[in-house]
Amino acid sequence: MPEFKIQHITKYTYDGPVRDSANQIILYPIKDDYQEVIKHEIKISGDPSVDIHIDYYGNEVGDFTYIEPHSTLEITSRIWVNTKHRMYPMDDIFAEQQWEDLRQLHGQVAYIDFLRQEYFDGLDELQQIINKDKVANETPYQLAMRFCKYVYENFEYIKGVTTVETTLDEIWALKAGVCQDFAHILMEMLRLVNIPARYVSGYICSSKSHWRGEGATHAWAEAYLPGYGWLGLDPTNNIIANENHVRLAVGRNFSDCSPVKGVYKGAATHSLEVAVSVGNPGDSHTEDYDHEVHHETPPALKKLTQVPQNSYRLYLEMMQQQQQQQQ
Amino acid sequence: MHHSAYFSDYNPAPNTWDEMFGTDAQIRGHYEKVIEYLTRESIDELNKKEDLAKRLFMSQGITFTVYNSGEGIEKIFPFDIIPRIITGQEWAFVEKGIKQRLHVLNLFLKDVYSNQFIIKDGIVPADIIYSCPHFLREMHNVKVPYDVYVHIAGIDLIRDYDGTFYVLEDNLRTPSGVSYMLENREITKRLFPDLLPQCGVRSVTEYPNILYRNLLSLSPRQIPHPTIVLLSPGIYNSAYFEHTTLARLMGVELVEGRDLVVANHKVYMKTTTGLQQVDVIYRRVDDEFLDPLVFNPSSVLGVAGILGAYRKGNVAIVNAIGNGVADDKAIYTYVPDMIRYYLNEEPILKNVPTYQLGNPEEAEYVFGNLNKMVVKRTNGSGGYGMLMGHAATQQEMDDYKAEIIKNPRDFIAQPTISLSAAPCYMQGKLTPRRIDLRPYALCGPDGIEIVPGGLTRVALREGSLVVNSSQGGGSKDTWVLV
């Protein structure tokens, strides 16, 4: 029963004062049979009151505002969590029966969102790839594992080539991306063969091997298998997501689960740093997080060179300028 | 038989219900007094009245905005001086029918955002609801005051050849046009001051008072003077005139998104003396733009964090968020079934038969009969992007068909219904033109009230069946008799 201490810091730094900031955080670990939260604390600069509600997909979502002028916003989440290994699927039901069970899910509210195909131009090509490699009597579990491997082998893991706004078309053309892109492609494949698939955001934790996605928030997919339920598949590492994956939220796609997002008013640009560190209990945790820090200047928020040197107009500009920040 | 030159060119269209003439070419009883009055007036006198009406509209700035026209954005809404008259009996029927429908649509919204009994029982397919872009999962389990989602509805009615009323569409998001109902009446009072009391025309001027009273009753704070605001997208919106009018008539603040801010899950208005907490928002900003934190992040028309304040019950929003799932044109098809399901009653007002293009069999039928159909987008409004099969060229039909095939769920088709006709004053003559009717229903904690009247829109082009103001329509004052 692994035990992890995770520290996740999100820090926005603005090059001038901003105000009227409104933010949404989905940083609360899911509590279920395989994940026990021993302690969780969130600290936010300015100490705003955070209201937590349960969203449509059952995730805890917090929101807060920060209206006074400020030039940094820092969100620190400290999680102490116990995870349990979950048995892999027995997969002992006849393949045909399993596929039939999946067909029965069509039109059912619990799965409808996870079966809806997101349209992109590569869909036909993807369908052909799937058709070409058909294996007789393959179970949904076997097929899902094969798809996971396909994504792992055919897409290159390159940090920074994509952003949260990159479309499936772009990922498909690049054949590269980060964990969220890998997850999206895998979900598309699963939905094409009628296996409900959902997006998961969280952390990958390990003290032994080095995995992709450490030091940042991680993402993977879950496939719904008859007789088993949701099975986590991490196409970035080509493994089953189990006791080393700590789950924060599930949804249709990244935007249902984005860990931190917000909008603010002001003419300043922002840079974002995210640091995730994982330690085992007993470690003096606060100092040792490994600095895999991402600097990001979203392309939409280029430096405003024409900001007038006139306080009145600067103020007007600031009040009109509404910007978006997302991790 | 018609004792006046005004009628010399009046040719009722075949197979069309004429509001003024009966089948025997006799003037219907409820039009008699008005016609008597008109026949006593000279053409000069009527022309003067028409001219006065134009000048009044112009001087009072009663305008609407046409998108994509390439010309100036604001236009005068054309007004026809001859009122459209509805008998007390007809009105009683319409009123009862709308109340029934609106009651059910509110029940449906409550259900679809909580228990979803109607889906579980297979009355409305889950697919239709979950594929609707206006079905907002963010509204799931959000408690709205008194379970009222639709506080203001504009339900469009038309009359077929035999005078039967049909519901053409439900407008449950931010229905507009009520200011024209009010202004048209004010102008008619100036044009025909004696005629209104003589004919026994019921008043519509209560509308802003009822709306204000309903807004007041929604205040989450029990204080003597809650702050109520009307949130407008601003001067470029097609209904900006209406926003200013309603704010003025109700005596509430007219604000835009930049005037409001959310702090501690409460909404505040920025005033010269600091922040003032807002209790009730009558918003005319669409859901998509209302909260950039949750919906469209690039929207500057809304207020970031407002959904959070709403969810906590710290502010009331009118109409509720997420109503678009109930006035989606694909879901419209199921409203009669909803009435039977929730109330165990038969629908009073009929639906126009509607084909879902998302359903392959129905699509096949529609494609085979496209020249007899009106095809619409399920989430469109204002008459933009419609195909009127009877008037379309082969090329237009082919192009439209190609659009449909890309995303069939987004389209429905209805047989062309021939809208009733009413007399309009044109160049010294009375001429029949097609009309519809949009009454405005207000739903408050104590029930539904409908001021006797509404907006009658007119297709001013001869033979046209499209009454939308953006498509060359005008309007008339609507008289409901006692």
Of A10-14, A91-95, B466-470, the one with minimum mean pLDDT is B466-470
Mean pLDDT of the A231-258 span: 96
- Is residue A197 domain-shared with residue A316, that is, in the same domain? no
Q: What is the CATH number of the domain that holds A14?
A: 2.60.40.2250
Q: Is the dihedral of CA B230, B235, B240, B245 positive or negative?
A: positive
Binary contact (B261, A67; C-beta < 8 A): yes
Instruction: Examine the domain organization and report whether A116 and A206 are in the same domain.
Output: yes
Q: At B76, list the tokens.
A: 């005068």
Q: Tell me the pLDDT of chain A averaged across its residues.
A: 87
Residue to substitute from B114, B116, B132, B261, interface A, most A β-carbons within 10 A: B261
Shared domain for A277 and A233, answered yes or no, is no
CA distance B107 to B110: 5
* Shortest CA gap A291–chain B (Å): 29
Domain count, chain A: 2
**Which pLDDT score is estimated for A306?**
43
Do the Cβ atoms of A107 and B126 come within 8 Å?
yes
The answer to the question of residue A249 being in a domain is no
CB A294 within 8 Å of CB A285:
no
* Amino acid B9: pLDDT: 75
Tokens 């899950």, residue located: B265
Residue A316: what pLDDT?
Answer: 63
A304 pLDDT tier (thresholds 50, 70, 90) = very low
DSSP one-letter code for A224:
E
Domain boundary among A194, A211, A241: A241
- The closest alpha carbon to B409, from B460, B464, B360, belongs to B360
Q: Tell me the CA distances in angstroms from B361 to A106, A242, B410, one per residue in order.
A: 20, 46, 16
Class of domain B107-152+204-343: alpha beta
What distance in Å separates the CA atoms of residue B252 and residue B480, rounded to the nearest whole number?
A: 29
Q: Which residue of B has its CA nearest to A48?
A: B264
Q: What is the mean pLDDT of each run of 10 residues along chain B (482 residues)?
A: 68 90 86 92 93 88 62 73 97 98 98 95 94 95 96 96 94 94 95 94 97 97 96 91 96 97 97 97 96 91 96 97 95 96 96 91 91 86 76 88 87 90 91 95 97 95 79 90 94
User: To which residue do tokens 């603040």 refer?
Assistant: B253
By residue count, chain B amounts to: 482
* Contact across the interface for B119 and A109, Cβ inside 8 Å: yes
Q: How far is B304 from chain A (nearest CA, A)?
A: 6
Considering the domain boundaries, does residue A88 fall inside one? no
Query: Is residue A89 one of the residues assigned to a domain?
Result: no
Last residue of a domain, one of A208, A241, A274: A241
Asked casually if ipTM beats, i.e. exceeds, 0.95, the reply is no
Do both A107 and A175 map to the same domain?
yes
Contact B75, B64 (CB under 8 A): yes
In which residue are the tokens 């939308």 written? B468
Q: What's the token pair of residue A29? A: 């670990």
Burial of B78-93, coded b for 16+ CB within 10 Å and e otherwise, reads bbbbbbbbbbeebbee
CB contact under 8 A, B300 and A319: no
CB contact under 8 A, A65 and B312: no
pLDDT of residue B128: 93
Residues A144, A221 within the same domain: yes
Residues contacting residue B61 through CB under 8 Å, at least 6 positions apart: B241
Q: Which chain A residues are Cβ-neighbours of B112 within 8 angstroms?
A: none
pLDDT for A298 beyond 50: no
Interface of B to A at Cβ within 8 Å reads: 116, 119, 125-127, 130-131, 137-138, 140-141, 258, 261-265, 292-294, 297-298, 300, 304-305, 308, 311-312
pLDDT the model gives residue A113: 96
Lowest mean pLDDT among A65-79, A87-101, A203-217: A203-217
Helices (H), B253-328: 287-290, 306-311, 324-327
Best of A19, A20, A116, A123 to disrupt the B interface (most B CBs within 10 Å) is A20
For the stretch B178-188, pLDDT in tens is 999 999 999 99
> What interhelical angle do B88-112 and B335-343 show, nearest 10?
80
User: Where residue A142 sits, what CATH number does that domain have?
Assistant: 3.10.620.30
Say if A197 falls within a structural domain.
Answer: yes
Within A82-155, where are the H helices?
95-103, 109-115, 123-132, 140-154
Query: Any bridge partners for residue B76, and if so which?
Result: B63
Residues A195 and A306 in one domain: no
CA distance B112 to chain A (A): 11
By percentage, how much of chain A surpasses pLDDT 90?
A: 69
The domain boundary residue, chosen from A213, A241, A269 = A241
Show the domain range for A309: 3-83+258-326
pLDDT of residue A284: 46
| Architecture of the domain made up of B353-415 | 2-Layer Sandwich (3.30)
Name chain B contacts of A112, Cβ cutoff 8 Å.
126-127, 130
Task: Report the Cα–Cα distance between both ends of chain A, in Å, rounded.
Answer: 30
- The per-residue pLDDT for range A126-178, each reduced to its tens digit, is 999 999 888 889 999 999 999 999 999 999 999 888 888 888 999 999 999 99
Q: What pLDDT sits at residue A286?
A: 39
Whether the per-residue pLDDT at A295 is higher than 50: the answer is: no
> Are B422 and B20 in contact, with CB atoms under 8 Å apart?
yes
Q: Are residues A278 and A224 in the same domain?
A: no
Does A220 reside within a domain? yes
For B37, the 3-state DSSP assignment is helix
What are the structure tokens assigned to A77, written together? 């989440």
Q: Which band of pLDDT confidence, cut at 50, 70 and 90, is reported for residue A120?
A: confident
By the 8 A CB rule, do B85 and B34 touch? yes
| Residues of B with Cβ-Cβ distance to A322 under 8 angstroms | 292, 298, 300, 304
Residue B305 Cα, gap to closest chain A Cα (Å): 6
Q: What is the pLDDT of residue B192?
A: 94
**What are φ and ψ of residue B272, in 5° steps?**
-65, -20
* pLDDT number for residue B391: 83
Q: Are residues A79 and A101 in the same domain?
A: no
Distance from CA of B327 to the nearest CA of A (A): 21
Supply the pLDDT for residue A296: 42
Instruction: Determine, yes or no, domain membership for A289.
Output: yes
Q: Are residues A29 and A109 in the same domain?
A: no
What was the pLDDT predicted at B187?
95
Distance CA B446, CA B449 (A): 9
Q: What pLDDT does A285 receive?
A: 42
In a domain, residue A161? The reply is: yes
Specify if A253 maps to a domain: no
Sequence spans of domains, chain B = 107-152+204-343, 353-415
